[in-house]
């Protein structure tokens, strides 16, 4: 029986892993925070490593698993995996591309709507007895907006960006997208990055975190955005420079932000954005990296995982390979 090492919280894995996976694999389940030495002491014979997509899989762990054939992330992200180490060993690294597209796209649109309707601050005012005063304030200022009146720009136009564009277009919004290579334009029109930033009332980040994209949303990026625009990030926290975001919100260059992800997760209470002055935090909606954490997304995720386990068992090439192992 194939030996699988799973680095994930026990309750999460046991809640979502299908019975078929238990039938075809001998599973060693450990927390994703387990030290490498402890992992190797218990599971050095693992042939498949299934890992939470937010953790680091470094060379010392990879080299300590001599029978390893597949590193499978339990999600879309794979930036924590040392691809060079896997390549040298001829180990496949695969993700679950596309499985959470609908879930993350819905979350992206939810953050847009929450920012446009100032949901968090309105909620607090109702709790504190200012419901009518807040309503009158919004009527006087005209500060609440329809999504259908906005131009929405998507940076990154893979399965998530495209689905989010489809949804926002259904609201009546004008939709733009930018990616290095032009794609189909069924749900959004192609636009160069500078033009997208200048025209968009809402800018949504829907691209992977790479060396090239890290901190791309910085001071210069925000200066190129339309004044008062909203930033949405449901991709990776490292795409955004937190200090520069605070400065852009403080100056009014940005009108708000909806963030499902922050740099340096798990997020601590001393994070720059979390401990920002109250007037800044009132312009931000935080959610705890749950865009893709829906029941249906997990079902689709484990469909892919099970398919790749069977490919490895049958000596076949798996799907959703993200590296270049020597034997491919």
Phi then psi for residue 278, to 5 deg, are -55, -40
Catalytic residue among 89, 107, 236, 300: 236
Residues 125, 128, 131, 132, Cα dihedral to 10°:
-120
The label of the residue with tokens 């399965």 reads: 159
Whether 265 sits among the annotated catalytic residues: the reply is yes
Which two tokens mark 5? 């090492």
Catalytic residue among 102, 107, 289, 300: 289
Can you tell me the distance from the alpha carbon of 318 to that of 314, in angstroms, rounded to the nearest whole number?
10
Can you tell me the distance from the alpha carbon of 230 to that of 228, in angstroms, rounded to the nearest whole number?
7
Q: What is the 3-state secondary structure (H, E, C) of 147-160?
A: HHHCEEEEECCCHH
Residues 161, 285, 128, 142, Cα dihedral to 10°:
-60
Catalytic residue among 265, 271, 281, 310: 265
Q: Is residue 67 classed exposed, middle or buried when 0-12, 13-18 and 19+ CB atoms within 10 A define those classes?
A: exposed
Whether 289 sits among the annotated catalytic residues: the reply is yes
Q: Which residues are catalytic?
A: 236, 265, 289
């Amino acid at each position: 029986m194939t030996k699988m090492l799973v680095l994930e919280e026990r309750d999460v894995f046991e809640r979502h892993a299908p019975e078929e996976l238990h039938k075809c694999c001998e599973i060693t389940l450990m927390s994703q925070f387990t030290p490498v030495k402890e992992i190797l002491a218990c599971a050095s014979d693992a042939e498949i490593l299934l890992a939470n997509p937010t953790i680091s899989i470094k060379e010392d762990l990879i080299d300590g698993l001599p029978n390893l054939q597949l590193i499978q992330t339990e999600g879309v992200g794979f930036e924590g995996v040392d691809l060079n180490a896997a390549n040298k060993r001829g180990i496949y690294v695969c993700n679950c591309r596309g499985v959470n597209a609908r879930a993350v796209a819905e979350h992206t649109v939810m953050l847009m709507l929450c920012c446009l309707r100032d949901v968090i601050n309105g909620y607090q005012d109702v709790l504190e007895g200012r419901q009518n005063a807040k309503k009158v304030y919004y009527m006087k200022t005209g500060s609440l907006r329809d999504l259908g009146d906005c131009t929405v720009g998507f940076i990154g136009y893979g399965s998530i960006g495209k689905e989010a564009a489809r949804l926002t277009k259904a609201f009546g919004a004008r939709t733009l997208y930018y990616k290095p290579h032009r794609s189909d334009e069924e749900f959004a029109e192609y636009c160069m990055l500078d033009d997208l930033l200048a025209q968009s009332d809402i800018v949504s980040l829907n691209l992977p975190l790479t060396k090239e994209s890290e901190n791309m949303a910085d001071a210069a990026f925000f200066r190129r955005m339309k004044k008062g625009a909203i930033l949405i990030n449901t991709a990776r926290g490292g795409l955004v420079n937190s200090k520069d975001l605070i400065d852009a919100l403080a100056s009014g260059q940005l009108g708000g932000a909806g963030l499902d992800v922050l740099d340096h997760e798990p997020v601590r209470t001393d994070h720059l954005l979390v401990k920002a002055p109250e007037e800044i935090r009132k312009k931000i909606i935080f959610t705890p990296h749950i865009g893709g954490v829906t029941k249906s997304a997990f079902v689709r995720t484990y469909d892919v995982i099970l398919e790749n386990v069977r490919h490895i068992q049958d000596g076949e090439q798996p799907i959703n390979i993200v590296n270049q192992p020597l034997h491919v």
